[in-house]
A and B are shown apart, each in its own frame.
Chain A
Amino acid sequence: MNWLLVAVGGMAGAPLRYLTDRAVQSRHDSGFPWGTFTVNVAGCLVLGLLTGATLAGAAGSELRLLLGTGLCGALTTYSTFSYETLRLAETGSRLPAALNVLASVAAGLAAVFAGVTLADALWA
C-alpha cells in the first residue's frame, strides 16, 4: 500500500511539473529556467505545509507518502535544475547560472519555512 501511495503521487507530480514548466516557459523568452524554479519553490511550500501539519499531528504517514514522498518529490527536481544551470553556464550565461542556484535554494528554503509557519497557524 505504501509503495502504491508513492507511485500514485509520483505519477501526478511529474506530469504536473512538465505541464507547469511548459506553461511558464511559453510566457517569457529570457532563457532563464523559470518553469523549474516555479515547480521547485511551489513543491517546497507544499512540503513545508505538510511538514508543519505532521508536526501539529494533523497529517498521518499515508498522506505524507502520497503528497510528500510521491507528489512533492516528483513535482520538484534536482536533476533538471542542475542540467539547466549547466546549460546556462555552458552557453556563456554564467551570472544567470549562479543566480539560478542561489535564488532556487533561497526561495525553496524560504517557501519551506513559510509553509511550516502557515501550517502551524492553521493546525497547531
Chain B
Amino acid sequence: MAQGWRFQAPVVAVVALGGAAGATARYAAALWWPARSGAFPWTTFWVNVAGCAAMGVLMVAVTEVWDVHRLVRPFLGTGVLGGFTTFSTYAVDLRGLLADGHPGTGLAYLAATPLAALAAVWLASWAARRTLKRRGSPR
C-alpha cells in the first residue's frame, strides 16, 4: 500500500458502511418489486441504471465542481453506489434466462443492461456538468 494504514482505515470503514447501505437498498428494491421467474429482471435493471446515473452526477460533482472531504467519494461512490449496483446478479439472472429456455429475453437483457448503464452514466455526467458547473463556484 502506498499510504499507511492510519490513512486507509477510515476509507475502508466508510466504504464498508456505504456498502452495507447500498446492498440493503438493493435488497429493499428486490422485495418491493419481486422478479418473476423467466421474465425480464426489471428491478435489477433499474437498480443498475439508476446507480450508474447517480455515479455520473457524483463523479462530476466531486472531481470537477466542488472540493469535498476525502471520505465523501469512497463513501458515496465506492460504498453506497458500488454496493447498490451489482454485476454478479446481472450475470446470474442472464444465465438463468438462457439456461431455462428464455433466450430472447436473455439476449435482450444481455444487451440492454450495459447499453442503458453506459447511456445513464454518460447522460447524467453531461447534465451534471451543464447544471452544476454553472451554479457551483469554479475552481
The residues of A with any CB-CB pair to B shorter than 8 Å are 2-3, 6-15, 17-19, 22, 26, 40, 43-44, 46-48, 51, 65, 68-70, 72-83, 85-86, 101, 104-105, 108-109, 111-113, 116
Contacts and interface: CB of A to CB of B under 8 A. Distances in A.
Contacts, number: 182
Given A14-B16, A15-B12, A112 B92 contact: yes
Given A26-B2, A82-B117, A109-B94, A9 B88 contact: no
Q: Tell me which of B17, B54, B91 has the highest count of chain A C-beta atoms within 10 A of its own C-beta.
A: B91
The A interface is mostly helix, strand or loop, or mixed, namely helix
Interface of B: 1-2, 11-12, 15-24, 26-27, 30, 48, 51-52, 54-56, 59, 74, 77-79, 81-92, 94-96, 110, 113-114, 117-118, 120-122, 125
B20 A10 contact: yes
The B interface is mostly helix, strand or loop, or mixed, namely helix
B24 A17 contact: no
Contacts of B83: 10, 13-14, 73-74, 77
A74 B120 CA distance: 20
Q: Tell me which of A48, A82, A101 has the highest count of chain B C-beta atoms within 10 A of its own C-beta.
A: A82
A40 B24 contact: no
B121 A82 contact: yes
B16 A73 contact: no
A14 B25 CA distance: 14
A40 B88 contact: yes
Given A44-B92, A79-B121, A113-B95, A74 B114 contact: no
Nearest to A80: B82
